[in-house]
Chain A
């Protein structure tokens, strides 16, 4: 298995632009999580899906952030409009099985908003 695949690996954009981050979970995993990592706040859970349905989006910072999972093999996290404070590494992770079992992480997207 190729693992969790994220794209792009790096994204540099200007303030006000739309940013779309992509994730392909491991086949057969029915949970997908989006995390954001910064030095100041550590690793924060933004949203997670179960069977393509958003379950908890309480970590999404504001309305500029949205996430979708149109099918079991693809999810997007969109920021519109982007701001410099959105600069961070965004990770996608997936798992299956019982609640709280181990997560498999992608390599992350390093986002820089200028």
Chain B
């Protein structure tokens, strides 16, 4: 079953604009991760934020986490055509489970 749900399902922007994707989840987590998938390729890890963190940065990526609302957002600043990909959030649940459960992703298109 899906734990995370990304929103929107698809996003189209112009190069240079910022892209914001959201993720909502249902159960308590110990961390939340964002992955990127280029067409026809495997997923690549972007960033991990732990449940006791509220914000994290990595290059042009900014992730926020609101555990009270069970939601996270991924912001990509100054987008480039090469950022065109699908982006997935994945949650690691509390309670000792070692699974990562993925949402269905947001398909981002950055137009040159």
Contacts and interface: CB of A to CB of B under 8 A. Distances in A.
A4 B99 contact: no
Nearest to A101: B48
A108 B98 contact: no
Contacts of A50: 98
Interface stretch (A11-19, A41-49, A73-81): A41-49
Interface string A71-90: 00000000000000000000
Residue of A33, A105, A110 with most chain B CB atoms under a 10 A cut-off: A105
B31 A100 contact: yes
Interface string A22-55: 0000000001010100000011010010100001
Interface size band for A = 20 to 34
A100 B2 contact: no
B43 interface: yes
A45 B96 CA distance: 17
B99 A48 contact: yes
Contact of B99 (A56, A106, A107): A56
Nearest to B42: A105
Nearest to A9: B40
B4 to A, nearest CB: 10
Contact of B97 (A99, A101, A106): A99
Interface in B11-43: 30-31, 33, 35, 40-43
